Copies of this chain bind each other. A is one copy, B any other.
């Protein structure tokens, strides 16, 4: 069955393109923020209590734990977050947002929301909501399910 699929129908291609567009947008919006878009996500997490320690935070955000170290170094140097010793586990550091960080985050959230709206403008309001909901559902539910097992038992052409 030679189905001449166009790349436009490829999930990986669409995902990649949307991702790149969003990343570019986000980078411009949060320009100047240490760590760029990922620094922003750290702020979001810190503002909500987030996962207790750096490792959990790194895993949640999909960055290496060694990267989280200097990412937090920069954010701390900019006085947007503080590393606080966890009283229950002196190995761990709690990441708490500072007042300055909270103010910065509030501003960035607005700008980002506006920029995202423009980015999603090819879709109408209902579709935008759908897309956000579907991605959120997929992102939260998608455990480490190995989607490859399924591909293993496909015989060759």
Contacts and interface: CB of A to CB of B under 8 A. Distances in A.
Interface of A: 1-23, 25-26, 28-29, 37, 40-41, 44-45, 47-48, 50, 60-62, 102-103, 106-107, 109-112, 114-123, 127, 130-132, 134-142, 145-151, 154, 156-157
B15 A18 contact: yes
A101 to B, nearest CB: 12
B135 A120 contact: no
Contact of A132 (B14, B17, B60): B14
Contacts of A14: 132, 135-136, 138-139
Taken together, the copies of this chain in the complex come to: 2
Contact of A148 (B25, B139, B149, B156): B25
A141 B21 CA distance: 12
Contact of A12 (B37, B103, B147): B37
B62 A20 contact: yes
A22 to B, nearest CB: 6
A115 B2 contact: no
A148 to B, nearest CB: 4
A53 to B, nearest CB: 16
